[in-house]
Amino acid sequence: MINLELPKRLQVGANQARQVATQIFRPVSRKYDLAEHEYPVELDTLKAMIEAMEDAGQAASGATTGRGTESKYQGIQNGGNMKSLLNIIETCWGDVGLTLSIPRQGLGNSAIAAVASDEQMERFGRVWASMAITEPDFGSDSAAVSTTARLDGDEYVLNGTKIFVTSGERADHIVVWATLDKSQGRAAIKSFVVPRDHPGVSVDRLEHKLGIRASDTAQISFTDCRIPKENLLGDPEIRVDKGFAGAMQTFDNTRPLVAGMAVGVARAALEELRTLLEEAGLEINYDQPATSQPAAVAKYLELEADWESAYLLTLRAAWMADNKMPNTKEASMCKAKAGRAGSAITLGAVELAGTLGYSERSFLEKWSRDSKILDIFEGTQQIQQLVIARRILDLSSSELR
């Protein structure tokens, strides 16, 4: 059973992340929202801090690997996934776009941690990796990957185009999804670690976006890009009987983290909204039914309950990942719930705050824009519901589309 009392070692990390959010992210949040594609120089300070902490305690904490660490309580672990989740909740309370730009904390790093061998972790454990899945011809259907990887001697040759690559220009490595043989379907889809400055890799453009403007989002092309065959993550064999479960295992780690982003920004909106309601003379009373309180308070209580359920589902999915439990269903459940709740809560806060919520005098309008992407990337709301239904009904992707 999950214990909701955070261990002290995790609380220390979360407190440090809150300090980053309060002292570094919040003060420059509006600046980089208005100056899209400008590099946040504050990230250099953060990078130095991360390197210092890693050098001081990486082996003991398991912080950068995303893998669980041993606990003195047999069968109960709280490792890298839970640590990363709690930190992300705090930093996204500060700014989602800046969180997505933290060096060596990219979604590709979680992908590496999910399926990399020990030897690969030695090589790639401290890189900054973005993740390249989506292509011009598909969005949420990851099985439709058309970027190819052809084995030529001791190297794979990659060809294709990826779009909406978060931190695609700033990260120093890219985890690229490509197919070894299109005729073999899903089973032939593998992920590869590619240095961004490698020959054959080009950043074609940066996207202008609704939200998370502090983060760069790129289109990247791979043209006869040759990488060592050892850069393939996981099993190099095409195993039709297993589909592309190895590649999809990545999402079991990353979806709870994206859910945590939504939880963090939604909490920021709730805290701001509560302050505004109290300044307006409205008391939030937990001892009375919501229906007997002012309409604005009743709505706040509804949004707060929505947040609580998203938070608990997200904790559960990360905890299961650290304890080596199959969590595909739970990862999709928390992503679906938190993604939807994040948008509902931030937009609800904008509505209740009136003109202040719609203006740039507060962060509420920004948080509502930032939260929308969290219900889209790493699998849309509809895709999550499809994954959950397949798991509950025990149906394959071909049986339930």
Tell me how far CA of residue 136 lies from CA of 132, 221, 251, 261, in angstroms. 12, 11, 21, 26
- Residue 215 gets which letter from DSSP? S
Element (H, E) at 218: strand 217-228
Angle (CA) 217 218 222, round 5°: 150
Q: Tell me the sheet residues that pair with 187.
A: none
Q: Tell me the sheet residues that pair with 135.
A: 138
Tell me how far CA of residue 253 lies from CA of 143, 256, 367, in angstroms. 18, 6, 24
* DSSP H stretches of helix in 116-182: 118-124
Question: Which residue among 51, 283, 378, 399 is the active-site one?
Answer: 378
Cα 98 off chain centre by: 13
Tell me how far CA of residue 189 lies from CA of 146, 148, 232, 271, in angstroms. 9, 9, 11, 43
Q: Tell me the sheet residues that pair with 220.
A: 162, 203
- Name the one residue in this structure whose structure tokens are 């073999």: 184
Tell me the pairing of strands 217-228 and 201-206. antiparallel
Q: Is 378 tagged catalytic?
A: yes
Cα 256 off chain centre by: 7
Extract the tokens encoding 387: 């994954």
Question: Catalytic positions, please?
Answer: 378
